[in-house]
Homo-oligomer: A and B are copies of this chain.
Amino acid sequence: LTVDCVVFGINQRDSKPELQVLLVRRADDPFKGRWALPGGFVHVSDNGDQGESLEAAAQRELQEETAVEIEYLEQLYTFATPGRDPRGRVVSVAYYALVRTKDHTATAGSDAADVGWFNFIGSEGVRGRSSHEVFVHGDGNDPTLIGDPTGSWGTLAFDHADILRTALTRLQAKIRYTPIAFKLLPPKFTLVQLQRFYEAILMREIDRRNFYKRVKGFLVQCGVETNNSKPGPAAAIYRFDKRRYDAAIKRDFIFEPFEI
């Protein structure tokens, strides 16, 4: 029994952030040298008790391999097709996680050969600014390919391409009716930042005016941007108003701050 984690981050360094996923390079066989999702075996029985929870296992593995801090963790799906691991029957409970990617943070692991953030490349062929890239989208039969800076390409280890695709689909669906984007943003942010985050996750553009209208009901202004080295007026700074959001949800409100 293993857990695997699809860790999503958004690199925030400049005005056009991009969705990224965290992969580790496998140090051992099988699939030695290939990129894979971080994860590993669940401690089933520590000392008489029944061991750790799956969430705890996911967190632990992430600490060991990538040293990132998790803001959000949710179970995705359980992958258990016989033959998915050549070593024997391995059932993997997949989770997806959201983290706040710090600028330029290249997280270094202790347990894995190499760690890297990968940009997504959609069917449109848009390339990101990461040193690594992941292909997803396309039709379901395409293997999810990854490319490293040297230009060599390979597929992900195990069935991790399937897991990754499932996770991306889920994230994009979940963001429609849940304010998980706020888990990725810093606690205080501008409207444009918020919009860019949504655009990064959905991988398309959103109408600014309609977007503002919908989210502003759940934001509280708490300041004004200061470091103005750009033209235009100072942007207002907001924080998420969970209280108002929860109240709205209770009235069957559906949070969908963008055009479908």
Residues of A within 8 A of B (CB): 1, 44-45, 49-54, 75, 77-78, 80-83, 88-89, 91, 93, 252, 260
The smallest beta-carbon distance between A119 and chain B, in angstroms, is 26
Contacting residue for A52 out of B50, B53, B77, B82, CB 8 A: B82
Q: Which residue from chain B places its CB closest to the CB of A83 in the assembled complex?
A: B50
Residue of B nearest to A50 (CB): B82
Q: A44-B89, A75-B77, A91-B91 are in contact. List 15 more A-B contacts (CB 8 A).
A: A1-B1, A1-B91, A45-B88, A49-B82, A50-B82, A50-B83, A50-B89, A51-B82, A51-B89, A52-B82, A53-B81, A54-B80, A75-B78, A80-B93, A91-B93
- The A interface, classified by DSSP as helix, strand, loop or mixed, is loop
Per assembly, the copies of the chain total 2
Cβ contacts A to B, 24 pairs, < 8 Å: A1-B1, A1-B91, A44-B89, A45-B88, A45-B89, A49-B82, A50-B83, A50-B88, A51-B82, A51-B89, A52-B82, A53-B80, A53-B81, A53-B82, A54-B78, A54-B80, A54-B91, A75-B77, A75-B78, A78-B78, A80-B93, A91-B91, A91-B93, A252-B260
Q: How far is the CB of A215 from chain B (nearest CB, A)?
A: 21
Q: How far is the CB of A95 from chain B (nearest CB, A)?
A: 10
Closest 4 pairs between A and B when the two form their complex, measured CB to CB: A50-B82, A50-B89, A78-B78, A54-B80
